[in-house]
Amino acid sequence: MNAIEERIAEVLSAQFKVERAAIEPDVTFAALRFDSLVLIELGLILDTEFGVEIDDGELTNEMTISDAAELVAAKGASL
Amino acid sequence: MSEAAGAAVVAGLGGRVPPTVLTNRDLVASLDIDEEWIHSRTGIRQRHVIAPGGSTGDLAVEAGRRALASAGAERVDALVLATSTPDRLCPATAPEVADRLGLGAIPAFDVAAVCTGFIYALATAGGLIAAGTAGTVLVIGADTFSTILDPADHRMRAVFGDGAGAVVLRPGRAGEQGALLGIGLGSDGSRSDLLGIPGGGSRQRSAGLPTRAEDVYFTMQGRAVFHEAVLRMAASIRETAERAGWPLEDVDRFVLHQANARILAAVATRLGVPVERFVRHIDRVGNTAAASVPLALADGVAGGRIRPGHRVVLASFGGGLTWGSVALVWPRLDASAPDGPAEHSHL
């Protein structure tokens, strides 16, 4: 995992009680079985964590942890 | 603001929910969702709804009566009612509420800012006091969203409940407990489509179009509203606390619009403050729109969660879009629980 993926994994584990072992770069959010509000909650946390703006709907169930990390990186994430 | 500067001061508080309770179990008996689905997504276990023939004005009268009793006041100089479910399209509901409370020929008007209505009404009443137009003002937030929901829309019926809450404001000094400090308001009309009732207004009537069934009910784009609510309330709270000169970690209680328990948690996370400082009333009443902040205050004071001397920030977000917040040091006053018995109730 790269540094951004690691940070996302930390947030998922700490805030959303996902088992750390279940989080791999190629795992989709759908596979983590979140309800519809979690992606909004996650976006609101990641935008603070990385200092970027993530709009409602930019994170989708089909995305992998790696896709989310790429989205955050493309917005100029600061680590 | 210097401590000697003039300010509007909270002098009384009251709340009222109608006696009829709809639990999650009651709802799911007729719907295709389960109880846990409702609770996990909203934090709501039950809501109160008015009986057939009841109205927003009925609840406003009872909440107003309780706030006046809490303030030890029989008269006020003005009444401001926040609602987006008035008893009728026009005239405003406030004059009739004032009359039913025996308040005489005082100025009385409605403020429409949907779920932010109570904060807008507080700011408006504070302005009446600051300008010398009124001494004491009764400020009521009251809504009956059960009357504007599609009966077939189970998710919306799960979210909203009916109620009313009120405060009495009097003129005083910024250094006093109860003084409204650092009020902040905002709006974004470019997102007016996110929540509201599309039909029934001048645009539909002037077009001469028949009213479509789906246009008479309240609609909401839940995900987008959730996102905006968290961003706007968190930013508004930061600004208001700063205007009051309070670091966020020194705020004892956050009393937010009770729209969704997960919105409260997300705002707490974003502000970096413990969610335990957020007063939570939504589990027992749902989202009561303009009533939700004063109802949460009344419940918090009656239950001892909010105590004299606490630094409190109130914040709300609603259709419009609108948002706002206000800071105050909680004053010493009595308030009964909003679900307690009514003395003169016709509800």
- Residue B37's alpha-carbon distances to A6, B42, B71, B289, B309, in angstroms, are 31, 9, 41, 22, 38
Catalytic residue among B115, B154, B260, B281: B115
Range scoring the smallest mean pLDDT among B46-60, B89-103, B195-209: B195-209
Q: 């519809």: which residue's tokens?
A: A36
B210: β partners = none
Contact A40 B227 (CB under 8 A): yes
Q: Which residues contact B214 (CB under 8 A, 6 or more apart)?
A: B150, B198
B260 is catalytic: no
The reported pLDDT for the residue numbered B339 is 82
> B176-218: per-residue pLDDT in tens?
999 999 899 999 999 999 999 998 889 888 988 777 878 899 9
The reported pLDDT for the residue numbered B211 is 79
> CA-nearest residue of chain A to B267?
A44
The reported pLDDT for the residue numbered B30 is 65
Class (C level, CATH) for A3-74: mainly alpha
What residues of chain A lie within 8 A of the CB of B40, using their CB? 35
The reported pLDDT for the residue numbered B4 is 79
The reported pLDDT for the residue numbered B31 is 63
Of A33, A26, A29, the closest CA to residue A60 belongs to A29
Give me the torsion for CA of A26, A31, A35, A38, rounded to 10°: -20
CB B335 within 8 A of CB B14: yes
Mean pLDDT of B54-76: 97
Of A5, A78, A12, the closest CA to residue A45 belongs to A12
By Cβ distance, the residue of A35, A55, A57 closest to B41 is A35
By Cβ distance, the residue of A15, A40, A48 closest to B223 is A40
Using 50, 70 and 90 to split pLDDT, how confident is the model at B276? very high
Q: What percent of chain B has pLDDT over 70?
A: 97
Q: What is the mean pLDDT of each run of 10 residues along chain A (79 residues)?
A: 91 90 91 88 92 91 94 85
Of B327, B58, B13, B22, the closest CA to residue B149 belongs to B22
Using 50, 70 and 90 to split pLDDT, how confident is the model at B277? very high
The answer to whether residue B347 scores a pLDDT higher than 60 is no
> B12-29: per-residue pLDDT in tens?
999 999 999 999 988 887
Using 50, 70 and 90 to split pLDDT, how confident is the model at B1? low
The answer to whether residue B342 scores a pLDDT higher than 60 is no
Mean pLDDT of B317-344: 87
Q: Smallest CA–CA separation between B266 and chain A, in Å?
A: 7
Domain boundaries, chain A: 3-74
Q: What is the pTM of this model?
A: 0.94
Q: Where are the beta strands (DSSP E) in B84-238?
A: 108-111, 137-144, 162-173, 181-187, 195-196, 219-220
Q: Which residues contact B198 (CB under 8 A, 6 or more apart)?
A: B204, B214, B215, B219
> B119-165: per-residue pLDDT in tens?
999 999 999 999 999 999 999 999 999 999 998 888 899 999 999 99
The answer to whether residue B46 scores a pLDDT higher than 90 is yes
The reported pLDDT for the residue numbered B344 is 47
Q: Which residues contact B201 (CB under 8 A, 6 or more apart)?
A: none
What residues of chain B lie within 8 A of the CB of A37, using their CB? 41, 223, 226, 262
With H, G, I as helix, E, B as strand and everything else as coil, classify residue B110: strand
Using 50, 70 and 90 to split pLDDT, how confident is the model at B341? low
Q: Smallest CA–CA separation between A45 and chain B, in Å?
A: 7
Domain boundaries, chain B: 1-347
> Would you identify the CATH topology of the domain B1-347?
Peroxisomal Thiolase; Chain A, domain 1 (3.40.47)
Supply angle C-alpha B272, B246, B173, rounded to 5: 145
The answer to whether residue B263 scores a pLDDT higher than 50 is yes
Contact B231 A56 (CB under 8 A): no
Per-residue burial over B52-65, b if 16 or more Cβ lie within 10 Å, else e, is eebbbbbbbbbbbb
Q: What pairing do the DSSP bridges indicate for beta strands B78-82 and B219-220?
A: unpaired
DSSP state of B213: G
CB A42 within 8 A of CB A69: no
Most A CBs within 10 Å, among B226, B232, B238, to test the A interface: B226
Of B270, B280, B197, the closest CA to residue B234 belongs to B270
